[in-house]
Amino acid sequence: MGNRLSGKVAVVTGGNRGIGRAIAERLAEEEAAVVVGDVLGEPGTAGGSVEGLVFLPLDVTKEVSVRAFVDEVLQRFGKIDILVNNAGIVIHKSIDEQTVDDWDRLMAVNLRGPFLMTKYVAPEMRRIGSGAIVNIGSVEGFMVNPWHTAYAAAKAGVHGLTLGLAVDLGPDGIRCNTVCPGWIDTDLNRSYVEMHPDRRLIERELGQLHPVGRIGSPKDIANAVLWLASDESSFVSGEMIAVDGARTKKISLPAILDEEYRAKLSKLTL
Ligand code: NAP
């Protein structure tokens, strides 16, 4: 608990659960006024009322919804200092199975959403002469899991959007950065783990993919977002920051050559 965001107004998309909820709570802990925008519009099914957070309905894919949401936030709070573009979905299908509707839906949430939110929030940040936009990209903007072509394409798009916004909005005092999570324990990929009969084995193996010996938690991402949203990072813009326990920094080796390393890691993950 601190006051690093005292006096700031923050908007977090897709904050009903998972990473978005952790971000919203972390920013609120630092005294920001936090508005969560989500398709459900209220914390109802996602965990009851939450102290310090305001929930408003938002579908990031729809321009009319984004405009109404931004207007409502301005009416209630008068300004927006921080925008966290977090809402996202994943589709786990081969290119043959993927339909045009699948592709369009994923692009609409994961890429059109951050564009639309920024389009309507940036003028308000320009008006007050400062702002911090933090997108949630993914390590899958750099590397990719099988059957994630659309997801990887959208996340690489978010990384490109970040570069463009940092350059275009920098002269207005607005910074834009992206946090790229690795494997984080949320509903988004829990079902993937649950598909496997031996859940403990999968969890152990997942941990061993990470040099730090574990998968990430939503709070790990929230702490990185907090830093990028705060003035402590005032000279950082246009960056893609991986928060992945060094998973993407380790070059794969044949299992037999990797045995000693994995044995060491298994002591951490057991
Ligand atoms: P999650 O648990 O599935 O939560 C996603 C949230 O986004 C939900 O609250 C969902 O609402 C909301 N949402 C979906 N479509 C929306 C829309 N059209 N408008 C507004 N909100 C919408 O996922 P998560 O794991 O927290 O993921 C959050 C972000 O991190 C995503 O951008 C994801 O791609 C990224 N990420 C996650 C991981 C990971 O390992 N979990 C790794 C890399 C990147 P409902 O509750 O109504 O569905």
Looking at ligand 1, which residue's alpha carbon is closest to its atom 4?
18
Arithmetic mean of pLDDT, 128-154: 97
* Contact predicate 245/185, CB 8 Å: no
CA of 188 to the centre of ligand 1 (A): 7
Per-residue pLDDT of 9-46, as tens digits, reads 999 999 999 999 999 999 999 999 999 999 975 664 44
The reply to whether 192 belongs to the active site is no
Check residue 255 and give its pLDDT: 85
At residue 152, φ and ψ (nearest 5 deg) are: -65, -40
Q: How confident is the model at residue 48 (pLDDT cuts 50, 70, 90)?
A: very low
In the chain, the percentage of residues whose pLDDT exceeds 70 is: 96
Atom of ligand 1 nearest to the CA of 183: 40
Q: What's the angle, vertex CA 152, arms to CA 146 and CA 157, rounded to 5? A: 170
Atom of ligand 1 nearest to the CA of 221: 30
At residue 155, φ and ψ (nearest 5 deg) are: -70, -35
Check residue 47 and give its pLDDT: 42
H/E stretch holding 10: strand 9-13
Looking at ligand 1, which residue's alpha carbon is closest to its atom 41?
184
Residue spans of the domains in the chain: they are: 9-186+214-245
Looking at ligand 1, which residue's alpha carbon is closest to its atom 2?
18
C-alpha to C-alpha distance for 155 and 209, rounded to whole angstroms: 21
Beta-strand runs (E) in 165-268: 174-181, 240-243
CA of 18 to the centre of ligand 1 (A): 7
* Contact predicate 166/175, CB 8 Å: yes
Per-residue pLDDT of 227-265, as tens digits, reads 999 999 999 999 999 999 999 999 989 888 898 998 888
State the pairing for strand pair 53-57/9-13.
unpaired
The domain covering 9-186+214-245 belongs, at the CATH homologous superfamily level, to NAD(P)-binding Rossmann-like Domain (3.40.50.720)
Q: How confident is the model at residue 51 (pLDDT cuts 50, 70, 90)?
A: confident
Residues at CB less than 6 angstroms from ligand 1 = 13-14, 16-20, 38-40, 46, 58-61, 86-89, 109, 136, 138, 181, 183-184, 186-189
Predicted model pTM: 0.96
Token pair belonging to 184? 């984080």
Per-residue pLDDT of 188-232, as tens digits, reads 888 778 888 898 889 888 999 999 999 999 999 999 999 999 999
Give Cα separations from 213 to 139, 179, 186, 189, 203 (angstroms): 17, 20, 18, 18, 11
